[in-house]
Amino acid sequence: MTDSGAPDQPDSRGQTTRRATVLVVDDEPSICWAFERMLTEQGHTVITASSAEEGLQLAAARRPDLVLLDVRLPKEDGISALPKFIETSGGSPVIVMTAFGDLETAVAAVHRGASEYLVKPFHLDDARRVCQVALSTSRQSSAPVAVVRKDQGDNRLVGSSPAMQQAFRQIALVAASDLSVLITGETGTGKELVGAAIHRHSHRSKQVYLPIAPVALNEDLVESELFGHVKGAFTGADADRSGLFDRAEGGTVFLDEIGDLPMSVQVKLLRVLDQGEYLRVGDVRPRRCNVRVLAATNRDLHEAMRQGQFREDLYYRLSGLHIHLPPLRERLEDLAVLCRHFLLRLGNESAAESLSEELIDALSERPWHGNVRELSNAVEHAAVVARGRSLTIDDFPPAQLGRDSGAVQSPEASLPDAVAAWCKPRLDADAAENPTMTLHADLVAAVEPTLLRLTLRATAGSRAAAAERLGIHRGTLREKLRHYGINDVDASGGK
C-alpha cells in the first residue's frame, strides 16, 4: 500500500488540474509506478494497492475520485470486485485494465459499471486521456448495472491480438447504446460475428437480430424487400407487403455489404436513421420504425464516396462508431487461439490441447486471403484428416490462391475463383476509358512462368522431360523459357 501526493501546481504541460485522489489496484509494480508518475505530475494524489481486498480497504478509508482496477489480481479478481469499488468509493468512476481480455471480460466490465476499459500494454497518452475524461465526469454518473451475460457456443468471438482486444472494448462500450456501428474488414474477418455480439449484449437482445445481404436480394426489388410495398406499387404487387425492416421492429438489422446499396435505398436508409421512419414502395404515409442499424463492408467507402457511389451523409450517420477488423495476416497472434477455438467447437479437445508451436509457425506463413473463415474451414479439414491425432501442417488443405473467395476449396475448384479475381478489375477498367486489349496474353504471362518453373523442378531440370509433362514441343519450351528469362538456376527454387 503506498501513497504519493503532489503539491498543487500546474502539470508538465502548464495546465492546472483539480487535485484528485486516484486509487490504482494492480499487482504489477511497474503499472502502479507508471500511473503514480503520470498522475502526480498532473497534481493528483495516487494511492496504490496490490490486491482487491487491500484496495477496498483503501477505497473505504480515502474515498478516491477515480479507481484504476486490474482484472487479474491475486485473490478476488477485478471484475467481481468492481461493483464493491464503485459502492465503497461513493460512485466514483472505475477504469478496468486487462492484459488478455476476451469479449466477455470487456462486456462484464462495462455491464458492472466500468467507465472505461484499458487494454494492456497501453500508451501512456491514452491512459492519461482516459483518466482525464473519467475525472471530469461526476461521481454520480457511473451507474453500475449488475447484469453479466455470457457469449456462448459457436458464435463466440475470440482473439488475443491488440486489434481484437480493441474490438472487444469497442463492442462492450457501444453495445448498450442505440448507436449505429460501421464494421469494416476484408471478407471472413468476422464482421457478422461482431454485429451479432453487439446485438447479443444490447438491450434489444431478446428481439430480432436480422442479418441482411442486400446484394443477395433481387436487384429490382431490394427497396421493396427491405421496406415493403403497397398494392399496385409495381407490376405484380397485387397486395400490400411488409419488408425486412418491419420484421426487425424493436431489434437490430445487420446490413452486409452496405457499400453496394443502390442510391435509392441509401436515401431511404438515411431517413430511417435520421427520422426513425420509412415509406413502403408506392406509399405516401411514413411508417415509424424502431430498429438499430449495424452496417458492414469490405469496400473502401471513402473511395465509393469519391466516385459518387455512396452518400456522404449516410456514411457519417452510419459510422457513429467504426470497428475495423484487420486481415488475419496482420494479426497472426490470433492464429493459435482461433485454431484452438475451432477445434473445441468441433469437440476435438485432444487436438486443441496438443496444438504445436511448429504448426502455428507453419500456418503463419500462409496469406489467409479468406481470413478467419478460411482458417475455420482449413482447421475443420485438418481435423478430419488427422482423425484424432495431433494436427500437422500436412493435414491442412493448400493455401488459397485468390483474395476473392472465403471458402477453402480444392486447388482445381479455387483456380477459376483466382482467375475471376484477376479478371474483374481489368474488365471493370474495360468499362471505363482505358480498356486492356491483351487480357489473354496478360493472364498467360501471369501464370505460365510458375507452371514452367515447377515442372522443371519436378523433372530435376530436364527440359526434355518437362516438355513431355507439359505436352509441348521442346523447342516451344526453350522459346518460352527464353521469353520469360527463366534459366536452370531459377527453376531450382522459388515459384
Ligand X SMILES: Nc1ncnc2c1ncn2[C@@H]1O[C@H](COP(=O)(O)OP(=O)(O)OP(=O)(O)O)[C@@H](O)[C@H]1O
- The site for ligand X (CB under 6 A) is made up of 157-159, 185, 187-193, 256, 296, 298, 338, 341, 372-373, 376, 406
Sequence-distant (≥ 6) Cβ neighbours of residue 181 within 8 angstroms:
174, 195, 198, 294, 295, 319, 320, 321, 322, 323
To ligand X, the closest distance from the beta carbon of 161 in angstroms equals 9
Question: What is the spatial order of strands in the sheet that 181-184 belongs to?
Answer: 209-212, 252-255, 292-297, 181-184, 321-324
Which lies closer to ligand X via its Cβ, residue 188 or residue 243?
188
Instruction: For the CB of residue 17, give the shortest distance to ligand X in the complex, in Å.
Output: 39
Sequence-ordered list of residues with C-beta below 8 angstroms from that of 475, at least 6 positions apart, any chain = none
Contacts of residue 172, defined as CB under 8 A and 6 or more positions apart, other chains included, come to 103, 106, 107, 109, 110, 117, 201
Q: Which residue has 494524489 as its cell numbers?
A: 45
Closer residue to ligand X in complex, CB, 131/323: 323
* Minimum distance, C-beta of residue 192 to ligand X, in the bound complex (Å): 3
The residue nearest ligand X at its CB is 190
Closest to ligand X by CB, 89 vs 297, is: 297
3-state DSSP assignment of residue 47: strand
Report, in Å, the least distance between residue 373 CB and ligand X.
Answer: 4
Spatial neighbors of 271 by CB under 8 A, at least 6 apart, are: 277, 278, 279
For residue 213, the minimal CB distance to ligand X (Å) is 7
Length of the chain: 495
Q: Extract the C-alpha cell encoding 55.
A: 484496495
Q: How far is the CB of 208 from ligand X (least distance, A)?
A: 18
C-alpha cell at 357: 508451436
Question: Which residue, 296 or 491, is less far from ligand X as judged by CB?
Answer: 296
Q: Minimum distance from CB of 469 to ligand X (Å)?
A: 38
DSSP character at residue 115: S
Residue 7, preceding bond cis, omega within 30 degrees? Answer: no
- Residue indicated by cell numbers 484504476: 68
**Residue 86: which of 159, 144, 6 has the closest Cα?**
144
The angle formed by the CA atoms of residues 193, 199 and 202, to the nearest 5 degrees, is 140
Nearer to ligand X, 292 or 331 (CB): 331
φ/ψ of residue 355, rounded to 5: -65, 125
Using alpha carbons, list the distances in angstroms from residue 55 to 22, 236, 270.
Answer: 11, 70, 49
Q: Which of 439, 445, 457 is nearest to 495 (CA)?
A: 457
Q: Which is nearer to ligand X, 85 or 168 (CB)?
A: 168
The smaller minimum CB distance to ligand X, of residues 38 and 172, is found at: 172
Residue 156 Cβ vs ligand X, minimum distance, rounded to whole Å: 6
Nearer to ligand X among residue 70 and residue 186 (C-beta): 186
- Min dist. Cβ of residue 228 to ligand X (A): 25
Pick from 359, 358, 368: nearest CA to 398:
368
Choice between 69 and 295, CB closer to ligand X: 295
* Residue 252 β-bridge partners: 209, 292
Closer to ligand X by CB, 187 or 455: give it: 187
What is the C-alpha to C-alpha distance for residues 476 and 452, in angstroms, rounded to an integer?
12
CB of 370 to ligand X, least distance (A): 8
* Between 339 and 470, CB nearer to ligand X: 339
Nearest approach in angstroms of CB 256 to ligand X is 6
